[in-house]
Amino acid sequence: MEEKTRISHEIDIIGTAKLVFKYKKELAIFTITSLVLGIIIAISTPKTYTTSVILAPEMSAGGIGMSENLSDMASTFGINIGGKSSVDAIYPEIYPEVFSSSNFIETLFDIPVASKNNKTFKTYKEHLIKDTKNPFWKYPIILLTKILKNKNNSTKESTTSYKPMLSKEDDELCNGIRSLISCQVNNKTSLITISATDQDPMVSTILADTLQHRLQEYITNYKTKKTRRDIEYYQKLCEKAKASYIKSQQVYAAYCDANEDVVLKSFEAKRDQLENDMQLKYNNYSQLTEQLLNVKAKLQEQKPAFTVIQAATLPYKASSTPRSMIVIFFVFLGCVADIIWILFFKKK
């Protein structure tokens, strides 16, 4: 039974192939049509280039070098991660969230970028608006969006004067950029992989390098946030203590100069009082100065170090689907469509 079933399946496949090749004209029409359509879509689809940067943060006893201020960092961008106490649990989650937040993406608008063929610098926002190429099938959607946008703007201007913090155009740009940048953290190796995609390889390289430095700045700023506040606090105390000490020193010196030849006990008592007051203020100033130096040393210790395993380099090979593969895929679809049409429609 198994051999008969196997033979019947083989006969069906062979019979189907013979039936398809019997209608060579239809097969040629489907194949040529799909080939032309695949070529048009392949040519219209712009190439994209991806640049990746891999960082290795310093390791510490508390995890991977992150601070207790990660929740503050997330809240800055409108993200609430709750009161988690495990640094390791927060770290893999927070940076992809930060990268995808509109507040963070909006800061990328003013990055100066230059294309590979045009060395003139412009902002990243201008590059996205003026230099980004869209496939032909997106133009009707873009045109319809502009028409609806103009109508909505006219009705809004007549009814209300409220202006949002982020315009609709900027919000659309943020949504587009959100799909072009990414930050991934390997939980096993703690490696941070930052990638940026653009239609121009130079722009993707500049963007990836900028994202790397922005990430390092954020980690450093929020890891040392409390210590930097402590430094500011001790600096103010030191300035006040120094001014108070100098003032008491001047009062003591002026009193001694004015009563140089006086040997009265009242003079000695007043002089000792001024001297003790000056000494106390000097001790206070000296202690605050030592504490300030200790806090500055602590700040230097808390600054995380990063090892750049893979720097941002100009990609020469496109990361998008090769155009030849797009053409082959459409030719395959054309052959499948021809087989379906012959088996289910032509025979009827």
pLDDT surpassing 80 at residue 337: yes
Q: How many domains does the chain have?
A: 3
Residues 197 and 213 placed together within one structural domain of the fold: yes
Per-residue pLDDT averaged across 200-220, rounded?
89
Residues 68 and 102 placed together within one structural domain of the fold: yes
Residues 80 and 184 placed together within one structural domain of the fold: yes
Residues 245 and 194 placed together within one structural domain of the fold: no
Residues 279 and 216 placed together within one structural domain of the fold: no
The confidence band for 184, taking pLDDT boundaries of 50, 70 and 90, is confident
Residues 117 and 79 placed together within one structural domain of the fold: yes
Q: What is the percent of the chain with per-residue pLDDT over 90, rounded to a whole number?
A: 19
pLDDT surpassing 90 at residue 290: yes
pLDDT surpassing 90 at residue 43: no
Select the more confidently predicted residue: 20 or 248.
248
Residues 53 and 34 placed together within one structural domain of the fold: no
Task: Please give the residue range of the domain that contains residue 7.
Answer: 1-45+321-348
Distance between CA 251 and CA 239 in Å, rounded? 18
Q: Is residue 122 part of a domain?
A: yes
Most confident of 156-170, 188-202, 300-314: 188-202
Query: Side chain identity at 94, as an amino acid letter?
Result: I
How far, CA to CA in Å, does 270 sit from each of 94, 265, 266, 276? Answer: 63, 9, 6, 10
Residue 197: its pLDDT value, please?
92
Select the more confidently predicted residue: 8 or 138.
138
The confidence band for 304, taking pLDDT boundaries of 50, 70 and 90, is confident
Q: Is residue 142 part of a domain?
A: no
Residue 329: its pLDDT value, please?
92
What's the mean pLDDT when you consider all of the chain? 77
Per-residue pLDDT averaged across 341-345, rounded?
76
Residues 91 and 177 placed together within one structural domain of the fold: yes
Least confident piece of the model among 43-57, 153-167, 229-243, 287-301:
153-167
Residue 244: its pLDDT value, please?
92
Predicted TM-score of the model (pTM): 0.67
CATH number of residue 175's parent domain: 3.30.1890
Which residues are registered as beta bridge partners of 306?
A: 57
Q: Is residue 241 part of a domain?
A: yes
The confidence band for 293, taking pLDDT boundaries of 50, 70 and 90, is very high
Least confident piece of the model among 133-147, 180-194, 216-230, 245-259:
133-147
Q: Is residue 104 part of a domain?
A: yes
Q: Is residue 123 part of a domain?
A: yes
Per-residue pLDDT averaged across 293-307, rounded?
85
The confidence band for 241, taking pLDDT boundaries of 50, 70 and 90, is very high
Per-residue pLDDT averaged across 234-259, rounded?
88
Least confident piece of the model among 10-24, 97-111, 122-136:
10-24
Q: What is the pLDDT of residues 311-334, one digit of tens each?
A: 888 998 888 888 889 899 988 888
